[in-house]
Structure 1
Amino acid sequence: MPNSFANLNLPTQQLANLGNLGYKLMTGIQAKALPPALQGSDLIGQAKTGSGKTAVFAITLLAKLDPQNFAVQALVMCPTRELSAQVATEIRRLARYQPNIKVVTLTGGQPLAPQATSLEHGAHVIVGTPGRIGDHIGKKTIDLSQIHTLVLDEADRMLEMGFMEDIGRIISLTPKYRQTLLFSATYPDDIKRLSAQFQRNPVEVKAEALHHAGVINQHSFLCEKPHRLQALEILLAHFKPRSAVIFCNMKVGVREITEHLDQLGFSVKALHGEMDQRDRDEVFVQFKHNSFNILVATDVAARGLDIEDLPCVINYELPHDADVYIHRVGRTGRAGKEGMALNLLTDAERHKLADIGIAQKTELDYEVITALPKAALSPTQPNNVTLRIAAERKEKIRPGDILGALTGEGGINGKSVGKIDVMDYAAYVAIERSAAKQALACLLNGKIKGRKFKVTKL
């Protein structure tokens, strides 16, 4: 098959791991970008979130890693903490075919000292934000002199956030003859200048995201500003999404909506930039685990949030930039599945909808919110509960160990166990609500790999 990973001449163990992870056929960006990238060429990949670009640079950098050399050999820079965590997780998954590959995440929101300690013990790959990587350079806790692969992920977003100077300083400390892979959803002049400065004869590839415009059904509704919360209730009552992300432009709106929906009986949590990193991570994990139904977020989640099957995105307020809108609605309708985007706007915001339509090369219509037939609100409880296990990544507890503890002596049916995420400071497991009490007792009274851990229901 032309889009088979087997055509890339990858090691047998890596191909087996790709198959186990569900990588059946290459996406458009993977088919176009992986051959030149694996040959060592610099690359400019124009691809939106959801296109499968992470696997492009992960497979490329892993192909050149020397597991015996615990120097930093690959560096991935991302615009946000959330995207960094997501990318690091995927690199670890794709690296399972090789033993002892260490991936360290360097982002803000956490103290420098533990990160510096982790770096002292060596790392093959660093994934992080330019600001925090720059902090470690200033403290001389990181050595970039042996890097062979440099990745700039969502470069347009990093430039928008003012990271150009940090990026330049970091790249200046890497070897001149490295491979540089640059990925950007858009290709403005700033990206062209960045490429000209740091890349050598890059191959340019362009591919669409996994979702297409026709897969996301967009509906816009005009409402009065003082009655926006009531308009949101009408949307939830009429469309009844089983799960949704509601985007706001400001954290004040996030708090207001979260409190309002909570009072109405919805299973809802907030996500915004002022939360500390662990709290944000736990919110992400619980949402992925289907442990609550509605996430209310600022655009801090627009790029990093990666949910396999999110049926609905609601723009409580339209963003000021059409590209931000595209990234927001790109959370739904992924991998060929049908998604829905619901937008609320006031008279003063109609120009934003027009700008979004221009960016999509289509005319977006709207209707008055009160035209929707009346329906009753029907909040539902999420299917799962998330348990937090106080086991740090360095303790080498793996998902299989947790699953074994639950389904072995614990007697939990394997079908009742959902996603398991092992993070730097804790592990999280999703359990069907009906089995949560039994699973909690099992983990509290039993052992994982012969050891007892503190376990909490979130």
Structure 2
Amino acid sequence: MSATDFSSLNLPAEQLAVLDSLGYKQMTAVQAQSLPLILQGKDLIAQAKTGSGKTAAFGIGLLQTIQPDFFAVQALIICPTRELADQVGKELRRLGRGIPNLKLVMLCGGKPLGPQIASLEYGAHIVVGTPGRIQDHLKKATLKLNKVKTVVLDEADRMLDMGFVDAMQEIIGQTPSSRQTLLFSATFPDSIKQISRSIQRDPARVTVESQHQQAVIDQLFYEIKKHERNNALLMLFQHYQPKNAIVFCHTKIQCDEVAEMLRNKKIDAQPIHGDLEQRERDQVLVRFANQSCPVLVATDVAARGLDIKAIEMVINYELPRDPEVYIHRIGRTGRAGESGLAMSLVAEAEVPRMLAIEKYQKKPCRCDVPASLDRDDSYTLEADMVTIQLDAGRKNKLRPGDILGALTGDAGLDGADIGKIDIFDMSSYVAVSKSALRQAMNYLADGKVKGRAIRTRKIR
């Protein structure tokens, strides 16, 4: 038995069976280094890049402390964004399948307070949420943290960047001093050291290499004039012709303008940033993940928490000022042993940023000019799938199998025409091929899912 096998850990047979069913065989580096410490009850600071498996590391650990027959909040996970909180919540539900009657409640802004209050009234074992909304519930006394055993700060560096330091301190101040505190951060600035000193007791430290293997991600920097940025971006798509991509911008306005420019060139793109309503953000992320929108144009904060394993190309429309932000951006491609492309547009004013990246990576940046690219002016990038929204979800006891069964059964669709299915609290989304869209919509207009009619619409 290898030391990186999950079976080498002192975990219950039920948990090992769940991990096996989910395909969890070997621990990632952050899991192998941190899980033994977490299971010993130690406080921990873990520094690891996006996509390193940190959610399973703290998730498996905290699940072992949950007493299912005791309905009080026993674990609290604080995340910087709603998207990351949603991803963490889904993963914890998967990992906790073997625990009977486990209840997890999501507390994020952008959703009405009423249903969240109702969920908390019935008791919860685990709360996953964002700082602002957790504070709202504490002020209303609808959330009590006096029985919490484990607190997790996920992507703590981003929470500090977003100005949540006081909120984090206030929330943690309402938990028992005997708690275990786990702090996960992609970077380790002085501000992380300061908050650790104030909330942790003699924490163990785990660091997983944040650099990416040179052979996995092909990085290229294209030197441009400032006014050439849009044309150079289009040239990258026409040359590399990826099946999907993320374009990173600095501002919300930039995201909107770039996405519109790409759509005008027949490249399906959607912006995501903080000005979108939560429903709109959910829909954009669902469509990108289920292959019905191949290009995401995002700010750094909005893209935080993305967990999509097969992103072919990341493009820096403008270089970030912090080299570590650059590393996290490009780390969304080249995952799970796959190769990836990381392309950056560099105007003259951004050359110092490129030099800072050189210094951080301890290797010279490979530079080129857009004129060297072979272009296919006829290139388009349009999705093969379309997303359908159903106005029913987890609260209505709807499951992916119910939707799949209705579409492949009474509706008569081929299984190959149905893509990813996502279930939210009050709505669900299913990707279907464009060729099967009319057939699916015609059935859903008059037919039933799980014995009842459900209102549906195509998401554009």
TM band (smaller chain): over 0.9
Corresponding residue of 1:287: 288
1:80-100 deviation line (CA, Å, top 9, x unaligned):
111111111111111122233
Tell whether the 8 Å contact from 1:222 to 1:346 is kept in structure 2 after alignment.
Answer: yes
Shift of 1:8: 1.5
Corresponding residue of 2:106: 105
Shift of 1:211: 5.1
Corresponding residue of 2:140: 139
Tell whether the 8 Å contact from 1:303 to 1:328 is kept in structure 2 after alignment.
Answer: no
Match of 1:64, SS? coil
Of 94-103 and 305-314, deviating more is 94-103
Of 327-336 and 411-420, deviating more is 411-420
Q: Structure 2 regions of 5+ residues with no counterpart? A: none
Matches within 5 A, 1:3-152: 3-152=4-153
Tell whether the 8 Å contact from 1:210 to 1:336 is kept in structure 2 after alignment.
Answer: no
Distance 1:211 1:433 in 2: 37
Corresponding residue of 1:349: 350
What is the aligned-residue RMSD (CA, Å)? 1.7
Distance 1:158 1:86 in 2: 16
Distance 2:100 2:452 in 1: 23
**How many aligned positions are there?**
458
Of 397-406 and 331-340, deviating more is 397-406
1:305-363 deviation line (CA, Å, top 9, x unaligned):
11111010111111122121111111111111111111111111111111112122222
Shift of 1:148: 0.7
Distance 1:55 1:380 in 2: 34
Shift of 1:247: 0.8
Corresponding residue of 2:391: 390
Tell whether the 8 Å contact from 1:249 to 1:319 is kept in structure 2 after alignment.
Answer: yes
Tell whether the 8 Å contact from 2:274 to 2:302 is kept in structure 1 after alignment.
Answer: no
Tell whether the 8 Å contact from 1:302 to 1:327 is kept in structure 2 after alignment.
Answer: no
Query: Is residue 2:198 matched to residue 1:197?
Result: yes
Q: Percent identity?
A: 51
The ranges of structure 1 where at least 4 consecutive aligned residues each deviate by more than 4 angstroms after the TM superposition are none
Corresponding residue of 2:431: 430
Distance 1:455 1:17 in 2: 33
Distance 2:353 2:198 in 1: 34
Shift in alpha-carbon separation, 1:211–1:90, aligned structure 2, 3 A: farther
Counterpart amino acid of residue 264 in structure 1: K
Shift in alpha-carbon separation, 1:397–1:374, aligned structure 2, 3 A: closer
Of 196-205 and 441-450, deviating more is 441-450
TM-score with structure 2 setting the length: 0.95
Corresponding residue of 1:320: 321
Distance 2:417 2:7 in 1: 34
1:353-386 deviation line (CA, Å, top 9, x unaligned):
1111212222213222223234324113213221
Shift in alpha-carbon separation, 1:75–1:355, aligned structure 2, 3 A: same
Shift in alpha-carbon separation, 1:383–1:22, aligned structure 2, 3 A: farther
Tell whether the 8 Å contact from 1:240 to 1:378 is kept in structure 2 after alignment.
Answer: yes
Match of 2:341, SS? strand
Distance 2:289 2:130 in 1: 23
Corresponding residue of 1:259: 260
Corresponding residue of 2:330: 329
Distance 2:92 2:155 in 1: 16
Tell whether the 8 Å contact from 2:218 to 2:342 is kept in structure 1 after alignment.
Answer: yes
Of 27-36 and 369-378, deviating more is 369-378
Shift in alpha-carbon separation, 1:23–1:415, aligned structure 2, 3 A: farther
1:389-427 deviation line (CA, Å, top 9, x unaligned):
111321111112222222233332223322211112211
Shift in alpha-carbon separation, 1:262–1:438, aligned structure 2, 3 A: same
Match of 1:447, SS? coil
